[in-house]
Structure 1
Amino acid sequence: MEQMTFQSLLHKGLKRFGELPAITLLPNEKTLTYKELIEKAERISSYLIQLGIGRGTHVATLIPNSLESVIFSLAIQQCGATTVPMGEKLGTREVDLILKESKPKVVIMATQPHVATILDYLEDSKDPQVQIIGLPGFCVNYPDTFKLFEWPEETVDVDLPIASTEDLALLAYTGGTTGTPKGVMHSQKGLAAGLISAAIEDPLDDRDRLLLSTPLVHSAGSLLWRSLVSGVHVYIMPSFHPVHFIQAIKEYKITTTFLVPTMLYRLIDLTKKMDYDVSSMRNIYYGASPISQERLREAFEVFGPIMRQQYGMTECNIVINRFSKSAHLWAYHNNPEALKSCGKPCLLTEVRLIDEEGNEVKPLELGEIIVKSPAMMEGYYQRPELTRETIRDGWLYTGDIGMKDESGYIYIKDRKKDMIISGGMNVYSSEVERVVNRHPAVSLSACIGVPHPDWGEAVCVVVTLREGFNCTDEEVIHFCKERTSKYMVPKFIYFQDTFPLTPLGKVDKKELKKLYVQGITTIK
């Protein structure tokens, strides 16, 4: 292999498994073998190349979890082009901003709510080479100016462009919940390094069956490609539904999955109401947001010692820290506090914790987590100043505040932007949530800072209760007073049945805070 690129690793990895099943879409059980997946991707690659797609061109996708989302993503990489993935739950504002900045030559779509936005992009671009391709079978009414995709009867014999290590393979947008989305640039060599690192940290093979129900344009996508290059049989659900998820584990003897904590909590609660069989499971990867220590112990009781945490971010291709199954088991029996950690740095990653002056902090002291890795982004698209602010002397400044213990385990305390300053004291919202979540009636909590005339910001916690439990705000505040510092005790506790969630299933604190401050939420 002359060049270690993401394109070359996918090409070589997938070709090894021939007639083995590669992907099954649930619930209809439509399955593609590895051979069929490659053949279909090659047919689409030749189709895209005839449209002028190749190295250096941007191709945007807006496709829900499906066989098509995998096939088209693979085909774009085979062309050596840059994928600009967009999630189906993105708002029209975010889609509009991403299209106008990234200027894709082709948009491949299958979502009705975004038709008008993409039509506007097509008309405003005034570029005759820009094309919108609508995928059939997704109940979308496409305008006549869109091109309805039809499978080529045969693959046109074209030379697939060979990407270089420096080519841009992925332009992934992040941070668009309330601000302007930022385009994270990943090179071919960077994604290749991330793929290799994930394979080292997450040993899977052709005996594994992976179930994915979170959007493939986010963390699940990294696990998807890491799995396919190892011969794993991947099962894809359009979205997460707890009952269907538990049933799928039993029916298809699933061995591995990825969950965000809110999904894990729903599964734990569901197992208390129905018969279930999760004996086939060997790995549950979780991450994307802090997890309750108490709920993690419950997960052990339901699923066994199979938990594996991954800490990462879009800017570092998801591979920063890992908290292994054996480390979970050791902490469960010997040091429950360590269950709060996100583990230790991955093999290809260096991690430091520094203070405001850039000095490395001592164990048990708080500092910003900075990272150096071959899987790091190249920078933010068309944002040189933000890139220079985020990447300094080869180190990526994550914006996460953490602490390292004497054993080398790293604990995420908060995001810098989520830190609450109340009466001049720094309050880390995740620490408040950990205390509140220990209350026996609490299922999940979210801590936010709200404006206050005296303290600047007041600590406010929004709570969902476990089914069948009742609790008052005074009880929760009293519970916190007995267990944490006075300045971290919530001033306000509110209850509601559900939280606003991001497309990945994390509690959307920005939206929660915005709704609360505007006074239009159901909190009151």
Structure 2
Amino acid sequence: MLEKTIDQVLDKLVSHHQDKIALHDSERSITYFELGNEVNKLANLLQTFDIEVGDRVALWMENSIEFVVAEFAIAKIGAVRVPMNTYLNKKEILYRIHDSHSKLLIYHQSLLENQEKLQIEHNCITLNEAELKEKVGNASANYHKPQINPDSNVTIMYTGGTTGKSKGVLHTHKTILSIVYSETYELEIERGAILLHTTPLPHSAGYFIMPGMLRGGEQYIEKGFDPQRFCEIVEDKQITFAFLVPTMIYMLLDYPELKQYDLNSLNTIVYGAAPMAQSRVKDAIETFGPILMQIYSQAEVINQTTILTKEEHEDALNVSEHRLSSCGRSIIISEVQIVNERDEVCSPNQVGELITKGPHMMIGYWNLPEETNDTIKDGWIYTGDMAYKDEYGYIYLVDRKKDMIITGGFNVYTTAVEKVLFEHEAIKQATVIGVPDEKWGESIKAFVVSHTENISEAELINHCKTKLAKYEVPKSIELIKELPLTPYGKIDKKLLRTAYWKDSNRQVN
């Protein structure tokens, strides 16, 4: 199975499901056969731009059928796709184009304000969607592919850069197909599934497209998330599968009209990409039923490290609600260990760094050999995530290694403080960072979004004092209207920290 390339698998899927509808977006719908033809046409067009095996092609496109066609066409000619999130600013886009030495950029003109131009300094051709449609329309659908090895590079996926400079994560046909096959199994995608995609396809969501196709599924692609639109599509199209980040689930739970819609067709809601408060997981299960499934991973091992299944969510409610705060147990193809600073396996309930390996792991960071060697050691990926494993094998994330706060010589895990804040009934969202402190080195500062205005900083600090050690209690709590998010839907702690550390001799990223 792993000795194939992505395009070979696509060709077989097109052959098996020719007349079935494959994809819908806001503009149109296409069958599997039509998808195969469009991929072949674009593959032929790309070669007229002298795009060869191993060349990089950057994609800055909104969620659309064209994005999916472009990803498959790039893979088909043996080139390397560089997908870029639409929420990135122009500086971040240019960095990724230049760093990857992309030879071609395919983009949606609507992403540029006032029809501005991208000033690309190195030799890179740009092609917007109007030019793309015109040129593809005249291309042939008869395609003769070059020889491509399953170990050939196929994508550079840039990290969110939440704890430092964004790095290009390099994957091959073989590692991506390992992820695709694993997702199809682990996420229990059934034959004929109807999938809804509302999160950015250049990130984690894009890797659910092919598993859906493996099951002959029909997939709806939305440009973004809106709770009303989500409910309307689920009810009208009888959606069975959706991937949501926690902030989207919060928006649905808080949507006043939610109960007016029939969402019973949904049998799977996968969530991940950021921590979700235990209380809100419980609310979601009570609202949607036992259909939640959590995945934990990072770009280096896309979407596939641990899983908390639907049954395990339900069991947690009956056995131990605390388990709802777990990210689950390791998936079948991954090995996961928690190790201390001497690389010794930790005892149950002892905090250490989570390391993992499997056939789906990246081969390295693009043009960053030192960072690659720091991350991949003896075949294991060192994730930088601090965690512990209980006696039943369930893993609990406690912090990013770089997010841990050291105050007065004590280690404070921000997720432990955030969990206590979430236990207060007034709190809707919360995050915690370390800020400079002359006496303690760092002090703990929290930012919260509340359900009500009738809450004070003093009340929240007193709440924390009843549940946390003295050194874990926030020194200050700021009530704000909303928390800043990264383009990938995670709380942007790096941005929050910048205001406090920019003038400090010690820079915390």
TM-score scaled by length of structure 1: 0.92
2:45–2:135: 8 Å Cα contact kept in structure 1? no
Q: Closer, same or farther in 2 for the Cα pair 1:283/1:513, shift >3 Å?
A: same
1:58 Cα offset (Å)? 0.9
Q: Return the alpha-carbon distance in structure 1 between the equivalents of residues 231 and 434 of structure 2.
A: 36
Per the alignment, residue 185 of structure 1 pairs with: 170
Q: Return the alpha-carbon distance in structure 2 between the equivalents of residues 375 and 338 of structure 1.
A: 27
1:54–1:161: 8 Å Cα contact kept in structure 2? no
Taking the TM superposition and a 5 Å limit, the aligned residue runs for 1:110-189 are 110-112=108-110, 119-121=118-120, 124-125=121-122, 127=123, 130-136=124-130, 149-155=134-140, 157-176=142-161, 179-189=164-174
Q: Which amino acid aligns with 2:394?
A: Y
1:163–1:188: 8 Å Cα contact kept in structure 2? no
1:516 Cα offset (Å)? 5.6
| Superposed CA offset, 1:33-53 (max 9, x none) | 111111111111111122222
Per the alignment, residue 223 of structure 1 pairs with: 208
Taking the TM superposition and a 5 Å limit, the aligned residue runs for 1:369-518 are 369-466=354-451, 468=452, 470-515=454-499
1:443–1:464: 8 Å Cα contact kept in structure 2? yes
2:337 to 335, 352, 371: 352
1:283–1:306: 8 Å Cα contact kept in structure 2? yes
1:7–1:163: 8 Å Cα contact kept in structure 2? no
What runs of 5+ residues in structure 2 fail to find an aligned partner?
Answer: 504-509
Per the alignment, residue 288 of structure 1 pairs with: 273
1:150 Cα offset (Å)? 2.9
Q: Return the alpha-carbon distance in structure 2 between the equivalents of residues 515 and 256 of structure 1.
A: 40
Q: Closer, same or farther in 2 for the Cα pair 1:291/1:411, shift >3 Å?
A: same
Q: Return the alpha-carbon distance in structure 2 between the equivalents of residues 372 and 460 of structure 1.
A: 35
Question: Is residue 90 of structure 1 aligned with residue 74 of structure 2?
Answer: no
Per the alignment, residue 507 of structure 2 pairs with: none
2:60–2:106: 8 Å Cα contact kept in structure 1? yes
Q: Return the alpha-carbon distance in structure 1 between the equivalents of residues 478 and 470 of structure 2.
A: 19
SS in 1 for 2:254: helix
1:439 Cα offset (Å)? 0.4
Q: Return the alpha-carbon distance in structure 1 between the equivalents of residues 256 and 496 of structure 2.
A: 29
2:327–2:394: 8 Å Cα contact kept in structure 1? yes
Per the alignment, residue 142 of structure 1 pairs with: none
1:483 Cα offset (Å)? 1.3
| Superposed CA offset, 1:403-423 (max 9, x none) | 100100011111001111111
Q: Which amino acid aligns with 1:408?
A: G
Q: Which amino acid aligns with 2:106?
A: I
Q: Closer, same or farther in 2 for the Cα pair 1:107/1:158, shift >3 Å?
A: same
1:196 Cα offset (Å)? 1.4
Per the alignment, residue 24 of structure 2 pairs with: 24
| Superposed CA offset, 1:227-282 (max 9, x none) | 12221111111011111112221111111101111111110011566522211110
Q: Return the alpha-carbon distance in structure 1 between the equivalents of residues 246 and 407 of structure 2.
A: 28
Q: Return the alpha-carbon distance in structure 1 between the equivalents of residues 51 and 468 of structure 2.
A: 58
Q: Which amino acid aligns with 2:327?
A: C
Moved more, 438-447 or 8-17: 8-17
Q: Return the alpha-carbon distance in structure 1 between the equivalents of residues 34 and 167 of structure 2.
A: 35
Q: Return the alpha-carbon distance in structure 2 between the equivalents of residues 61 and 239 of structure 1.
A: 17
Q: Closer, same or farther in 2 for the Cα pair 1:473/1:273, shift >3 Å?
A: farther
Per the alignment, residue 266 of structure 1 pairs with: 251
Q: Return the alpha-carbon distance in structure 1 between the equivalents of residues 164 and 93 of structure 2.
A: 13
Q: Closer, same or farther in 2 for the Cα pair 1:362/1:273, shift >3 Å?
A: same
2:109–2:129: 8 Å Cα contact kept in structure 1? no
Q: Closer, same or farther in 2 for the Cα pair 1:111/1:341, shift >3 Å?
A: farther
Q: Return the alpha-carbon distance in structure 1 between the equivalents of residues 163 and 310 of structure 2.
A: 36
1:14–1:228: 8 Å Cα contact kept in structure 2? no
Q: Return the alpha-carbon distance in structure 2 between the equivalents of residues 117 and 99 of structure 1.
A: 17
| Superposed CA offset, 1:477-518 (max 9, x none) | 111111122211111111111111111222111112224667
1:213–1:240: 8 Å Cα contact kept in structure 2? yes
Structure 1 stretches of 4+ moved >6 Å: 115-118
Q: Which amino acid aligns with 1:493?
A: I
| Superposed CA offset, 1:4-55 (max 9, x none) | 33332233234321111111114x5x21111111111111111112222232
Q: Return the alpha-carbon distance in structure 2 between the equivalents of residues 457 and 89 of structure 1.
A: 32
| Superposed CA offset, 1:383-425 (max 9, x none) | 1001000000000000000010010001111100111111111
Q: Which amino acid aligns with 2:213?
A: L
Q: Return the alpha-carbon distance in structure 2 between the equivalents of residues 134 and 517 of structure 1.
A: 40
2:103 to 100, 105, 113: 105
Q: What value does the CA root-mean-square deviation take over the aligned residues?
A: 2.0
1:158 Cα offset (Å)? 3.7
Q: Return the alpha-carbon distance in structure 1 between the equivalents of residues 36 and 341 of structure 2.
A: 50
Q: Return the alpha-carbon distance in structure 1 between the equivalents of residues 245 and 313 of structure 2.
A: 17
Per the alignment, residue 143 of structure 1 pairs with: none
1:446 Cα offset (Å)? 0.8
1:120 Cα offset (Å)? 2.3
| Superposed CA offset, 1:438-491 (max 9, x none) | 10010110111111111111111101012x462111111111111122211111
Per the alignment, residue 234 of structure 1 pairs with: 219
| Superposed CA offset, 1:319-342 (max 9, x none) | 101111111110111110111111
Q: Return the alpha-carbon distance in structure 1 between the equivalents of residues 356 and 116 of structure 2.
A: 37
SS in 1 for 2:260: coil
Q: Return the alpha-carbon distance in structure 1 between the equivalents of residues 166 and 294 of structure 2.
A: 27
1:167–1:188: 8 Å Cα contact kept in structure 2? yes
1:311 Cα offset (Å)? 0.7
Q: Closer, same or farther in 2 for the Cα pair 1:114/1:356, shift >3 Å?
A: farther
Per the alignment, residue 328 of structure 1 pairs with: 313
1:148 Cα offset (Å)? 7.7
Per the alignment, residue 506 of structure 2 pairs with: none
Q: Closer, same or farther in 2 for the Cα pair 1:45/1:382, shift >3 Å?
A: same
1:169–1:186: 8 Å Cα contact kept in structure 2? yes
TM-score scaled by length of structure 2: 0.94
What runs of 5+ residues in structure 1 fail to find an aligned partner?
Answer: 137-145, 520-524
